[in-house]
């Protein structure tokens, strides 16, 4: 069965679902739609123009399944968690062997593993597909990270390739491993997204609070950076956001937005999974933490007069060029941290993840797309020392060329009392990983002192104890 022959359905016709339905229809497929609120389906079909003939509304999940000829492929684009389980539970008694359920949401990979087992036990096929790129991506080409059996993926590859973003003709979609592998990679994608967004926000904070620049003055800097090594979707988004004017007040739009950041969970999951596997996700963790603290607005308002040093706000003397270098360094390190987590997961779950291919499918369509990803893919395709990005000729040179800027930015911001948690974490991570001899000899000695945990000696094999007592 090829998806080209399967009838297609979609549950969850929200912003993403509508956009994906149009993308699928545009690629020649009829698609039957169901949404809890039927008015969104009506609106989609009304506004679909010549694609409307490919879209069919259904009145219930039963009606959706009845309107589709087997074999059926039903895509779920509902919020992660319970809504996915509820949709699956409603579908299972209605579907027949040969049918496939595809979860295109930001699901927790562990839930995808459990759902795959459950759906396959019922004789059906399951794909967990991480879809990145927001509504624009869903409409004109997302990046897609698929998990499931090789056969199920192969059945659907033609249509996934058709609807995917293309990087120089190469579709940004791949089969990454069994069951939860695709959703795991999407989670880490989002962790990197959190880190990148936070570091950009920190750079903006230095310009705004440290240098006293207005949004309209900061926007062109980001616009210029987007022509260089930082060339990426998110730097472009930042330049656009900082250029926008509030239609209501005429002020810069950014100045009218409450500084409390939301989060749906994927950044947090990346950190939890990294720590569970004994990996550091410090840059991502700092970004998650920054969103958490941002939500404590009332505490921050109360703390400002109490905990801020008296007198003038310190002036920050940081070069614009250094801030650019800090972001370049931070971005390389955030990608490196993300790929390190993927490496650990690949070992733990025996996924044999293809890191180069992951970097390739992130080159277009997704939120973290940047000009660096092509070089990351090339680095992984070459003989990478210890499989680590930071040790490649290309990225070690970028790091050593730019880390001075990161160092001056973190030091300057610290002296001025401007929080730069992700940039600081990036620098600390860099300085730790580049030291052949660190300080944990002391940690080992302490552990042995109070718990007889033993240590290794620099000059002898085996486990040893110190002369402490």
- Closer CB to ligand 6PG, 15 or 371, in the complex: 15
CA 334 – CA 399 distance, rounded (Å)? 12
Max alpha carbon distance in the chain (Å)?
84
Phi/psi of residue 417, each to 5°? 75, 25
Phi/psi of residue 100, each to 5°? -130, 140
Q: What is the CA radius of gyration of the chain?
A: 25
How many angstroms from the chain centroid is the CA of residue 338? Answer: 9
Q: Where are the beta strands (DSSP E) in 257-304?
A: none
Instruction: Give the residue numbers annotated as catalytic, written as ranges.
Output: 186, 193
Choose the stretch contacting ligand 6PG; rule: CB under 6 A; options: 89-97, 132-140, 245-253, 318-326.
132-140
List the one residue from 93, 169, 247, 262 that touches ligand 6PG (CB under 6 A).
262
Site map 296..325 versus ligand 6PG, x via CB under 6 A: ------------------------------
List the one residue from 7, 18, 106, 402 that touches ligand 6PG (CB under 6 A).
106
Q: How far is the CB of 199 from ligand 6PG (least distance, A)?
A: 15
CA 302 – CA 408 distance, rounded (Å)? 31
Q: Is 248 exposed, middle or buried (0-12, 13-18, 19+ CB in 10 A)?
A: exposed
The SS3 of residue 80 is: coil
Site map 337..376 versus ligand 6PG, x via CB under 6 A: -----------------------------xx---------
- Closer CB to ligand 6PG, 79 or 123, in the complex: 79
Q: Is 86 exposed, middle or buried (0-12, 13-18, 19+ CB in 10 A)?
A: middle
CA 309 – CA 221 distance, rounded (Å)? 30
Q: How far is the CB of 357 from ligand 6PG (least distance, A)?
A: 18
Closest-CA residue to 365 (of 163, 185, 228) = 163
List the one residue from 32, 100, 132, 337 that touches ligand 6PG (CB under 6 A).
132
List the one residue from 40, 245, 263, 295 that touches ligand 6PG (CB under 6 A).
263
266 is an interface residue for ligand 6PG by CB under 6 A: yes
List the one residue from 32, 35, 190, 422 that touches ligand 6PG (CB under 6 A).
190
81 is an interface residue for ligand 6PG by CB under 6 A: no
Q: Is 257 exposed, middle or buried (0-12, 13-18, 19+ CB in 10 A)?
A: exposed
CA distances from 433 to 333, 428, 436 (A): 11, 9, 8
The SS3 of residue 456 is: coil
157 is an interface residue for ligand 6PG by CB under 6 A: no
Choose the stretch contacting ligand 6PG; rule: CB under 6 A; options: 63-71, 89-97, 129-137, 223-231.
129-137
Q: Site for ligand 6PG (CB under 6 A): how many residues?
A: 13
Q: How do beta strands 72-76 and 166-167 pair?
A: unpaired
Choose the stretch contacting ligand 6PG; rule: CB under 6 A; options: 127-135, 279-287, 317-325, 438-446.
127-135
- Closer CB to ligand 6PG, 11 or 221, in the complex: 11
Choose the stretch contacting ligand 6PG; rule: CB under 6 A; options: 148-156, 262-270, 326-334, 437-445.
262-270
334 is an interface residue for ligand 6PG by CB under 6 A: no
Name which of residues 412 to 451 contact ligand 6PG (CB under 6 A): none
CA 379 – CA 216 distance, rounded (Å)? 37
Q: What angle separates helix 393-416 from helix 421-433, to the nearest 10 degrees? A: 130
Residues that bind ligand 6PG (CB under 6 A): 106, 132-134, 190, 193, 262-264, 266-267, 366-367
């Amino acid at each position: 069965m090829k998806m080209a022959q399967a009838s297609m359905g979609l549950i969850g016709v929200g912003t993403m679902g509508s956009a994906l339905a149009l993308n699928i229809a545009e690629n020649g497929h009829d698609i039957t739609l169901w949404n809890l609120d039927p008015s969104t389906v009506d609106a989609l079909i009304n506004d679909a123009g010549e694609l409307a003939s490919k879209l069919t509304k259904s009145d219930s999940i039963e009606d959706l399944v009845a309107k589709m000829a087997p074999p059926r492929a039903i895509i779920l684009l509902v919020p992660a968690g319970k809504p996915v389980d509820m949709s699956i539970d409603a579908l299972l008694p209605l579907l027949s062997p040969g049918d496939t359920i595809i979860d295109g949401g930001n699901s927790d990979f562990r839930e995808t593993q459990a759902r795959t087992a459950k759906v396959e036990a019922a004789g059906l096929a399951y794909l967990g597909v991480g879809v990145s790129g927001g509504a624009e991506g869903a409409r004109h080409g997302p990046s897609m990270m698929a998990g499931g059996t090789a056969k199920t993926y192969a059945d659907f590859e033609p249509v996934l390739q058709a609807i995917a973003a293309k990087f120089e003709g190469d579709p940004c979609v791949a089969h990454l491993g069994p069951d939860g592998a695709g959703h795991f990679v999407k989670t880490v994608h989002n962790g990197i997204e959190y880190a990148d967004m936070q570091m950009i926000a920190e750079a903006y904070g230095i310009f705004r609070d440290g240098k006293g620049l207005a949004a309209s003055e900061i926007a062109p800097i980001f616009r210029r950076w987007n022509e260089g090594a930082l060339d990426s979707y998110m730097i472009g988004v930042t330049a656009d956001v900082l250029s926008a004017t509030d239609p209501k007040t005429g002020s810069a739009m950014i100045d009218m937005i409450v500084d409390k950041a939301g989060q749906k969970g994927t950044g947090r999951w990346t950190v939890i999974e990294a720590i569970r596997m004994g990996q550091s996700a410090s840059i991502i963790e700092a970004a998650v933490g920054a969103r958490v603290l941002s939500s404590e607005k009332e505490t921050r308002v109360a703390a400002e007069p109490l905990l801020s040093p008296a007198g003038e706000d310190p002036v920050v003397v940081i070069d614009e060029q250094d801030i650019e270098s800090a972001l370049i360094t931070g971005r390389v390190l955030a990608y490196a941290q993300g790929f390190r987590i993927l490496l650990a997961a690949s070992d733990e779950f025996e996924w044999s993840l293809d890191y180069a291919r992951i970097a390739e499918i992130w080159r277009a369509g997704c939120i973290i797309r940047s000009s660096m990803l092509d070089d990351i893919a090339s680095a992984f395709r070459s003989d990478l020392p210890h499989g680590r990005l930071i040790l490649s000729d290309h990225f070690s040179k970028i790091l050593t060329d730019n880390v001075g800027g990161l160092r001056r930015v973190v030091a300057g911001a610290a002296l001025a009392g401007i929080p730069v948690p992700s940039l600081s974490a990036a620098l600390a991570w860099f300085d730790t990983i580049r030291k052949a001899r660190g300080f944990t000899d002391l940690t080992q000695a302490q552990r042995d002192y109070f718990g007889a945990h033993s240590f290794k000696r620099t000059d002898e094999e085996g486990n040893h104890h110190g002369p402490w007592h």
